[in-house]
Amino acid sequence: AGGAAVLTGGRPVDEPGYAYANTLLRVAGDRFVAAPEVMQTEAFGTVNLIVVAKDVDQLVEIAAHMEGNLTGCLYSHSRGEDDAVYDQVAPVLRTKVGRLLNDKMPTGVAVVPSMNHGGPYPATGHPGFTAVGIPAAMLRFGALYCYDNVRPHRLPPELNDKNPTESMWRFIDRAWTQADVD
């Protein structure tokens, strides 16, 4: 496990369809940053790695060393008490994931125009490909970002209810519009 501690699992099991028990690993942030490629080696099966950061600076450094992933989840205080931390971590994580979620698990994707199911390499072979999302599946060379359950004050201006330019076309509720969202 490259120096990560096995918290549970990590052993062969004799059950139909399974080779190893569900495995949970834990590693200190320093060790992760020292060997990110080892810590992110793909494992087939249910293997999860908890990386423990000593402070916010190290959390940002850990995020910067992450490989591309389909999703990234940030959990934060509902009253915004940790917005300063969020504001440091989210921009770095945003470059590493195809879908940034706030305060929820990535349980699946909806087949809607705003959805992306892809991410930076190695999550997908090319970050512009997506199996869902219209016309995102065809627009292969744009930066595909998906914000899921993100509070309005954290969204880019283009995604707020008020159209920031009053002339920008946006695809909302299956229709192109320049209007603000009610």
Boundaries of every domain in the chain: 1-52, 54-150
The stretch 71-80 carries a mean pLDDT of: 92
* pLDDT for position 37: 93
Tokens for 97? 């994931």
Q: Which residue has the tokens 């087949």?
A: 111
Beta bridge partners of 26: 5, 50
pTM attached to this predicted model: 0.67
Alpha helices in 29-101 (DSSP H): 29-34, 36-39, 56-64, 83-94
Which tens digits make up the pLDDT trace of 112-132?
A: 666 666 666 666 655 555 556
Q: How far apart are CA 86 and CA 79, in angstroms?
A: 13
Mean pLDDT, the chain, integer: 85
